[in-house]
Structures are given as C-alpha cells and as structure tokens.
Amino acid sequence: MGQDQTKQQIEKGLHLYQSNQTEKALQVWMRVLEKSADPAGRFRVLGCLITAHAEMGRYKDMLKFAVVQIDTARELEDPDYLTESYLNLARSNEKLCEFQKTISYCKTCLNMQGTTVSLQLNGQVSLSMGNAFLGLSIFQKALECFEKALRYAHNNDDKMLECRVCCSLGNFYAQIKDYEKALFFPCKAAELVNDYGKGWSLKYRAMSQYHMAVAYRKLGRLADAMDCCEESMKIALQHGDRPLQALCLLCFADIHRSRKDVQTAFPRYDSSMSIMTEIGNRLGLVQVLLGVTKCWMIQKELDKALESIEKAQELAEGLGNKLGLLKLHCLCERIYRTKGQQRELRDHVVKFHECVEEMELYCGMCGESIGEKNNQLQALPCSHFFHLK
C-alpha cells in the first residue's frame, strides 16, 4: 500500500469513526497498519488507533499502539513525530493511573527540541502532567501545569485545549472544595463548546456537562446535577464512551446518596465499579468505594463500611493518591468514634494530620486546613493558594 492509498484509507476510517461505526473504522485502520509501506502514514494511523481506543476505554491497547508509534517516530527521525508519540505514551499511562510514569514521559516531551509543531503540543503535555500531579494529590504542581496549559491555549487560540483544561480545573477545585470555582470552570468549558464547538466531537459537550453535574451535586443543587449528568450520559451511550459512562454512573449514585436514597445508589455504584474495573480506572474505583462506604454508614452497617475502606485504601496507596487516603482516614475516624474504639480512633487522627501536612493543604494566611469544607480559595502567581476570606 503506497502513500496515496494509505491516505485514502485513513480518511475512510475517519469517516466511519465519525459516523459511529467504530469497529469498521478499526478494521480499516488495522489493515493500513499491516499493509502500508509509508512510515508517515503508519504514524498517522497509529494516532487514529490510539485516540479511538482511548475513547472506548481500552487503555491497555492504547498503550500498546503508543509504544509502536514511538518506534515508527524513531524510524522517521523527526523530533516532532517523537514528541507526539511520547505525549501519547504519557496520556496512555495517565489513563491507566500510572501517574509517575506520565510525569516522566511529559518531561521527556518538554525536553525535546522540536519545531513549532512540538511547541503547540506543549499545552497538551502540560495538561496531561497536571492531571497526573492531581492524581498524586500534588496540588500546587497540578495548578502550575494547568495554568501553563491555559497560557498555551490562549497563545495558540486553541479553544479545544482550553475546554479540556477548564474541565480539569473544575475537577481540581472540586477536590479541594472550592465549589464556586468547581462550577465556574466547566460552565466556561460549556460556553466554549456552544461558541466554537460546531465541528467538535460531542465528547467535549459531554465532558463539560459531567463536570458541571459534579459541582452542582457538591453545592446541593441536585436537580441541576441530575439534568447535566443525564445529558452527559446520553452522549456517552451514543458514542460508546465507556470511561464517561462509568463517571456518570458514579455521579448518579452520588446524587441518590445525597438524597439518602441508598437503595437506588448501590446498583449504580456497582455498574460504575464494573466498568472502572474493566477499563483500569483505579482512581475512579477509589471514588466509587468512598461512595459505597458512605452508603453503608448511612445504614449504620459499620463493619461493611470498614470492608469497603480496606479495599479503597489498598488502591489509593498503590496509586499514591494522598487525598483518597486522607478521606478514608477521616471516615475511619468517624466509624471508630461511633464504635468507641479509642486506640484505632487515635491512630487514624494521627494519619489524617500526616496526610494534610504531606499535601501542604494549609491556608498561607490563617493556617487552617484547606479542603475540609466548601470555601472560596484564591491562588497566588506562585500557585500557592489561601482562603479568600
């Protein structure tokens, strides 16, 4: 298969993919990969395969194609191709919650001296790196990366990147409990989709709606949360977007739990858990298990709650997710206080404060801890943040 035929077949695959015929598109692209003698064409088709597998939640396959793409980039001896393939390797590891690896591949990208094309990728590299730092609960570095990514997006007038960064910032502020900003950023992302997103993939709309739903739930606006989450789920189902389906199911479960409707919440947590397990989203699993634990606590089933905590703790430790561990110690503290087990209670109080110190979650002004309750925060140019009040 020569250069022109390769190009035609890649376009054919894209057309099929955009009209929701994913399996047919994958077959076309795999044939190109087997038969094409054109290295640049092979590189491009690997990019298509990586994107498609990412959107379906087949992260291990995504990683496999990213490794092959790096070999193809080396064959082409072009720094731009190499930067792009390392970004894909970083993103594959980010999706598989291998956050340390993600950070080191992102650093490799930033150290490559490519042309202007590579520089345009730096925004995406900064975003992926920020997501990885957030996964490790290293908040200051995460914020630095997101702000850097936002600068790249503004300088290159890249609205798609800006939309993705706004969603990540929504996630960032939801975690440290500034719920006003957790809502502001995904609303900004939704505005970008409305103003510029005519030709974009619908996943951008779905993503912004999902992050709005999370913020609305945290603010106690449960009807608004439900509306946004339903909108997001509808698109996720149409497009076979398994990762987003899992997140929406988790959000639905959390909404029902907030309404104290534990019986409706449990099956949704279960469905979310089975997709998260299938795709390898271990960070998502920690969130699911936290929700399940809180449901058991509502039902006063404290031993079952402790069982869920144990599973979540093992996952959070494996990932290096300090915020997850902090929340688990906080729940243990409540359980052991209720049970009157003083020694275990003290143990978790100590561990809770160790987590707070490790994450440096203290306000630079008043010295109180950040992320305990909904509080408006302000970030300094150095990415340290403090309570607005």
pLDDT in tens, 146-196: 999 999 999 989 999 999 999 999 999 999 888 999 999 999 999 999 999
Residue 382 has pLDDT above 60, yes or no: no
Q: Which of 321, 260, 257, 255 is nearest to 285 (CA)?
A: 321
Measured distance CA(310)–CA(247) in Å, rounded: 22
Torsion over CA of 198, 203, 205 and 211, rounded to 10 degrees? -160
**Which tens digit of pLDDT belongs to each residue from 191-205?**
999 999 888 888 899
Percent of the chain whose pLDDT exceeds 70: 91
**Phi, psi (rounded to 5 degrees) for 362:** -120, 145
Residue 294 has pLDDT above 90, yes or no: yes
Whole-number CA gyration radius for the chain: 22
Place of tokens 């505005």: 191
DSSP secondary structure string, 294-343?
Answer: HHHHHTT-HHHHHHHHHHHHHHHHHHT-HHHHHHHHHHHHHHHHHHT-HH
**Phi, psi (rounded to 5 degrees) for 150:** -65, -40
What's the average model confidence in pLDDT over 252-270? 97
Prediction pTM value = 0.91
Kindly report the average pLDDT of the chain as a whole number: 89
Measured distance CA(312)–CA(317) in Å, rounded: 9
**Phi, psi (rounded to 5 degrees) for 285:** -60, -40
**Which tens digit of pLDDT belongs to each residue from 304-355?**
999 999 999 999 999 999 999 989 998 999 999 898 998 888 888 888 888 8
DSSP secondary structure string, 127-192?
Answer: HHHHHHHHHTT-HHHHHHHHHHHHHHHHHTT-HHHHHHHHHHHHHHHHHTT-HHHHHHHHHHHHHH
Measured distance CA(22)–CA(187) in Å, rounded: 30
**Which tens digit of pLDDT belongs to each residue from 44-84?**
889 989 988 998 889 999 999 999 999 998 888 888 888 89
Residue 262 has pLDDT above 90, yes or no: yes
pLDDT of residue 371: 58
Place of tokens 């956050």: 99
Measured distance CA(54)–CA(58) in Å, rounded: 6
> Poorest-confidence range of 260-264, 295-299, 300-304, 365-369?
365-369
Q: What pairs with residue 379 in β-bridges?
A: 385
